[in-house]
């Protein structure tokens, strides 16, 4: 569903990504882990077609993100690092616009918007201006925007950043509920977050894949933490072989 | 098509919810009204003087040379052109610069819409807001029609010309706003560009040959003159169409190139 092969991207002299490859299978929720500045956002931006890679390919829902961006965009829900909200719109107006922009037919738009408002817990603020909402509600509106058109593939850049523990729990449940119908890739630098939501974790460090492991729910966050710390403390070029982080 | 409609609606909503559009409309009505009153007073003075002179010379035909269209309508419209130079940048500065600053460009550029559709939607929304200025100008024309008897032809072409100028400047201002993240830079940039279109012919007097023709040909007020006088020339229409097309093309190119950085 998501396949990344040999991805490379430079910003001037800085190599943001080097030979990044990983796969996320249909219906799977995968975590994309890495310290700040490791290349998570750049990778997700390439998957979302916002940027193009210098080398390698990113395939989303069977289409190449660089050469067939429109096909990818039709099938993709994307929450960028900063939720792209129209701060002077109400929640309903904004989501209605997003649905229209993603090609939800007029007749189905109202239902799609109400459903996603319900799902993301935005009912109490549906008529309020986004600019007047708290960070938690804004984050949920950003998530709602990524879901409103029922995309096959969902890419979320740090979906729980800035939320309180209660909100994190709610968003986590929401994301887990997406498994099966949707393929989800979410980035985070919070380990327990990934351990509790995802079935697999891809660790990126200094623009390279440092580990790609299955998560054993029984083992909890501790085992993943060990893998993460080992992977991110290795010298460039070395990588942890695939294996059970919980083993 | 419904995607473009959604973009138009969003643009109009953003403009009307922000105070900028209301401030610009209000300032325009105030300044245009001020100019209108001044021009009408000037006209009355000329009528008075000419009446006295015509009586003195016993030649009533002199009065017929005092023309409401030429002196008031055409004078007012030419002055409004100058107001556009100052006010339209304030309407177009949000354009794409604010999308960039708020990060909403990431929403537009990862949605299944082409750069051309984004430009079409945003431009048409902006034009709807800036053409309100021409409606304001039409109000003063209605006052004239109520109290005087100007010719209708030049009024119609004059207003049409104003609408065309507004659309062309809006396209150029929008293009400038795609080059930057900062609304201030966008506003100052379009202001300078518009002003340049007004003064580009100034060195023409001392230039020769093709350069002279080019400088004269680029002047915006020179191409509006015909509209104000009631004769619409193909060349003038083409000039404004080219300005608008250039703006939209530049905007589309910048937005499309965003992915390849």
- The predicted complex's ipTM stands at 0.88
Contact (CB, 8 A) for A51 and A80: no
Q: Does A89 touch chain B (CB under 8 A)?
A: yes
pLDDT at A235: 53
A238: three-class secondary structure by DSSP: coil
Four-CA torsion B235, B241, B246, B251, nearest 10 degrees: 170
Q: How far is CA B19 from the centre of its chain?
A: 20
- pTM of the model as a whole: 0.91
Model confidence pLDDT, tens digit, residues B200-243: 988 888 888 888 989 989 999 999 999 988 889 999 999 999 99
> Whose CA is closest to A88, among B7, B10, B153?
B10
Distance from CA of B129 to the nearest CA of A (A): 17
Cα A55 to chain centroid, rounded:
22
Cα distance from A244 to chain B (closest Cα, Å)? 35
CB of A174 closer than 8 Å to CB of A19: no
Name chain B contacts of A149, Cβ cutoff 8 Å.
Answer: none
DSSP at A171:
H
Which candidate in A49, A70, A84 is best for mutational testing of the B interface (most B CBs within 10 A)? A84
Report the C-alpha gap between A121 and A200 in whole angstroms: 27
- Residues with Cβ within 8 Å of residue A2, at least 6 apart in sequence: A23, A24, A30, A47, A58, A59, A60, A153, A155, A183, A185
Residues in contact with A135: Cβ distance below 8 Å, sequence separation at least 6, in sequence order: A162, A163
Strand order in the sheet with A14-24: A14-24, A2-11, A55-60, A63-64
Selected for mutation to probe chain A from B13, B94, B112 (highest A CB count within 10 Å) is B112
Q: How far is CA A81 from CA A114, A139, A142, B28, in A?
A: 25, 10, 10, 40
Taking the C-alpha atoms of residue B126 and residue B240, their distance in angstroms, rounded to an integer, is 17
pLDDT at A217 over 80: no
Residue B47: pLDDT band with limits 50, 70, 90: confident
Q: What is the pLDDT of residues A221-240, one digit of tens each?
A: 677 777 888 777 765 445 55
Q: Chain B closest CA to A46's CA: distance in Å?
A: 9
pLDDT band at B4 (very low <50, low <70, confident <90, very high): very high
CB within 8 Å: B259 and A49 = yes
User: Are B106 and A84 in contact (CB < 8 Å)?
Assistant: yes
Q: How far is A113 from chain B (nearest CA, A)?
A: 15
B14/A80 CB distance under 8 A: no
Q: Do A49 and B104 touch (CB under 8 A)?
A: no
Percent share of chain A, pLDDT over 90: 62
d(CA A53, CA A45): 9
Q: Give contacts of A 68-87 with B, CB under 8 A.
A: 69-70, 73-74, 76, 78, 80, 82-87
Q: Which of B106, B114, B125 to mutate to test the interface with A (most CBs of A within 10 A)?
A: B106
């Amino acid at each position: 569903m998501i396949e990344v092969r040999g991805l490379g991207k430079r910003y001037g002299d800085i190599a943001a990504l080097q030979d990044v490859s990983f796969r996320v299978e249909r219906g799977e929720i995968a975590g994309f882990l890495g310290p700040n500045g490791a290349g998570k956002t750049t990778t997700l931006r390439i998957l979302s077609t916002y940027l193009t890679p210098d080398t390698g390919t990113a395939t989303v829902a069977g289409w190449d993100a660089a050469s067939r961006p429109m096909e990818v965009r039709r099938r993709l829900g994307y929450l960028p690092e900063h939720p792209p909200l129209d701060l002077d719109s109400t929640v309903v107006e904004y989501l209605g616009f997003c649905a229209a922009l993603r090609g939800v037919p007029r007749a189905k738009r109202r239902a799609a918007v109400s459903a996603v408002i319900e799902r993301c817990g935005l009912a109490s603020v549906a008529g309020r201006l986004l600019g007047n909402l708290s960070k938690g509600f804004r984050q949920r509106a950003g998530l709602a925007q990524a879901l409103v058109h029922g995309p096959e593939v969902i890419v979320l850049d740090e979906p729980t950043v800035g939320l309180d523990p209660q909100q994190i729990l709610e968003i986590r449940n929401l994301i887990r509920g997406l498994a099966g119908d949707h393929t989800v890739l979410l980035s985070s630098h919070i380990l327990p977050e990934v351990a509790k939501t995802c079935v697999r974790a891809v660790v990126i460090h200094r623009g390279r894949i440092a580990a790609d492991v299955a998560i054993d729910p029984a083992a909890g966050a501790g085992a993943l933490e060990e893998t993460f710390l080992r992977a991110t403390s290795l010298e460039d070029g070395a990588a942890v072989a695939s294996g059970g982080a919980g083993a | 098509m419904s995607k473009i409609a959604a973009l138009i609606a969003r643009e109009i909503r953003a403009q009307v919810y922000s105070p900028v559009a209301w401030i610009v409309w209000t300032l325009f009505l105030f300044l245009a009204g001020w100019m209108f009153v001044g021009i009408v007073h000037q006209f009355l003075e000329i009528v008075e003087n000419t009446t006295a002179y015509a009586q003195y010379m016993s030649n009533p035909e002199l009065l017929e040379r005092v023309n409401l269209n030429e002196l008031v309508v055409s004078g007012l419209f030419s002055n409004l052109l100058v107001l556009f130079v100052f006010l339209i940048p304030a309407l177009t500065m949000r354009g794409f610069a604010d999308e960039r600053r708020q990060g909403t460009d990431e929403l537009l550029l990862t949605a299944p819409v082409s750069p051309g559709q984004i430009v079409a939607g945003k431009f048409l929304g902006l034009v709807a807001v800036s053409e309100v200025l021409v409606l304001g100008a039409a109000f003063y024309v209605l006052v004239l029609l109520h109290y005087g008897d100007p010719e209708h032809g030049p009024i119609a072409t004059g207003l049409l010309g104003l609408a065309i100028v507004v659309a062309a400047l809006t396209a150029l201002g929008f293009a400038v706003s795609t080059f930057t993240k900062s609304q201030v830079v966008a506003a100052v940039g379009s202001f300078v560009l518009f002003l340049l279109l007004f003064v580009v012919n100034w060195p023409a007097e001392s230039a020769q040959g093709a350069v002279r023709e080019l400088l004269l040909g680029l002047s915006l007020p020179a191409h509006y003159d015909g509209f104000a006088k009631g004769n619409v020339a193909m060349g003038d229409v083409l000039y404004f169409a080219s300005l608008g097309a250039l703006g939209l093309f530049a905007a589309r190119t910048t937005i499309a190139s965003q992915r390849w950085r």
